[in-house]
Structure 1
Amino acid sequence: MLKYELIPGQLLYEGLITEENIFSSAAVAEDIILLTHEKEYWENLRDLTLGPREVRRIGFPLTAQLVERERRIAQGTIDGCMYAREYGVAFNVAGGTHHAGSNWGEGFCLLNDQAVAANYLLSNRLASSVLIIDLDVHQGNGTAQIFENVPEVFTLSIHAEKNFPFRKERSDLDIGLDLGTGDEAYLQILTSTLEPLFSRLKPDFVFYLSGVDVLATDKLGHLALSREGCRERDRRVFELCKKYEIPVQVSMGGGYSKRITDIVEAHCNTFRVAHSLYF
């Protein structure tokens, strides 16, 4: 998608980042994938032998290039975790592939980048308590399914209830919003939810999925946040991570407004807010 080129381009133009701040990643190793995804699913994905129904569920024609892309996105999120541990926050300009479950792909998601990274941290004893904050407009059903019985990972999804996926999984905490929910109600719900969670869970790592498909301009979202409301959403997440001194990895998630400017500006705002707080 064009936004993946425009976001870093805009941030470079503004001087918020330099070329030294941009990293690219290799493909994630198979043994790391298998910490999260079932062996049969992964091998069918790798060998391009998924059945027609499974491919339709993904939504893209299955190609070696697509699988390679997903592997690089997943490794990019792992690499981002290492940078976040050093600097407090790090971003994957792509990522947010939260519809991929342990044995399925769905909604343009093949491998669940934040789930893969969370399991990597846990398996290497780099974290013992993880909080995943999914604020994309669509429920993080794959993430919920992967961690449903994993007490070390708490999954929070705040999403439009009557929206894709129409068969929801069970997060540790799901908050399904009415269609048309705007800034004031959204931010009140967010704050009243996050403050107690941080205090109670005391996580040592946070994953944030910052989809901008919550915007009123979004073609698929059906919520009604303004660009300023979306920016304030990001600020409240980062301020809590900063307050509790918890590193946070950010994957960008969805954004489907008609105007590419609305998408890019909202995503860039997430970077701008983090920059203002951490650097």
Structure 2
Amino acid sequence: MLFDWLQQSQFGKHCALHIPNAIDIDLIKQVHNAAYVDGFINGTLDEKRLKRIGFPWSNALVERTLHSVAGTLLGAELALQHGIAIQISGGYHHAHADFGSGFCIFNDLVIAARQLILNNSARKILIFDCDVHQGDGTATLTAEREDIISCSLHCDKNFPARKAHSHHDLTFAKGTADAEYLKLIADILPLLLNTYQPDLLMFDAGVDVHQGDELGLINLSDHGLLQREQLVLGIAKRAEIPIVCVAGGGYCRDTLHLVNRHSQLYIAATELFC
């Protein structure tokens, strides 16, 4: 539905659409345990592992996963060329080396970042995760790295119950509203960019921080969500650091509301980059 909105709205004319091929499975195995990867691809994971992921296995899920992970890598490559790219899905930050969790199977953020560094397309990458849930998988997968920096801004009393240690973890209490949330981003993101001087900023733009989200527990308004997107994109633009954005989480039975929340990222990008 977000794809349809992009095609039909006034913002569609500003977007060049790129469709990825399925990612090479060997690239996934550079980040994830080979037995886990093969088990998912072949449909042989046990029920306990599938339950932890949250999806029933199917061939369609495999195809969707391989294309979505590839979309983040393609988006990152395009961002380095054009200054900004937005992946219509992605943000699978609960995927660990040998298991998936919380609707995340393979960690597209770390896979893409690692590949860019291996290809010498980037020296250092900052993952700025604004999904309401901590990026625990990203944290564990980057814990020993100094070239992929993880920063997670999340609700302290939300999933996962047991938090990992990102390079930087910043927490919000239940009910945090626009002003406090936006001030922290305005204070911390320029500092991180100045400290690490990354060649690419990866922005997990989860909309589960919205006050209407069914799993979020943080109270950003519609305007606050738009302001967040404007703030992050604006800081990256002023710093002249390319930014790739992924959709991240969002949980609402009314899909029209969910599309509206995700669309704020495209509205902000159009305002700032077109």
TM-score band by shorter chain is: over 0.9
Q: Which residue is 1:39 aligned to?
A: 34
**Per-residue CA shift, 1:257-279, capped at 9, x if unaligned?**
34323221121111111111111
Alpha carbons of structure 1 residues 245 and 20: separation in structure 2 relative to 1, 3 Å: closer
Alpha carbons of structure 1 residues 35 and 164: separation in structure 2 relative to 1, 3 Å: same
Indicate which of 208, 230, 233 corresponds to 2:225: 230
Q: Which runs of 5+ in 1 are unaligned?
A: 1-5
Q: Which residue is 2:166 aligned to?
A: 171
**Structural RMSD (CA):** 1.4
TM (norm. structure 2) is: 0.96
Q: Which residue is 1:128 aligned to?
A: 123
Q: Which residue is 1:209 aligned to?
A: 204
**Per-residue CA shift, 1:214-249, capped at 9, x if unaligned?**
011111101000011111111111111111211111
**Aligned ranges 1:111-260 → 2 under 5 Å:** 111-260=106-255
Contact kept, 8 Å, 1:35 with 1:120, in 2: the verdict is: no
Q: Which residue is 1:65 aligned to?
A: 60
**Per-residue CA shift, 1:78-104, capped at 9, x if unaligned?**
111121112111111111111111111
- CA deviation after TM superposition for structure 1 residue 250, in Å: 0.8
Q: Which runs of 4+ in 1 moved over 3 A?
A: none
Equivalent position amino acid for 2:183 in 1: Q
Q: Which residue is 2:105 aligned to?
A: 110
Contact kept, 8 Å, 2:14 with 2:270, in 1: the verdict is: no
TM (norm. structure 1) is: 0.94
Contact kept, 8 Å, 2:126 with 2:200, in 1: the verdict is: yes
**Is 2:100 the partner of 1:88?**
no
Count of paired positions: 274
CA distance in 2, matches of 1:29, 1:258: 34
CA distance in 2, matches of 1:90, 1:215: 23
Percent identity over the alignment is: 34
Contact kept, 8 Å, 1:94 with 1:253, in 2: the verdict is: yes
CA distance in 2, matches of 1:85, 1:189: 26
Indicate which of 46, 49, 67 corresponds to 1:51: 46
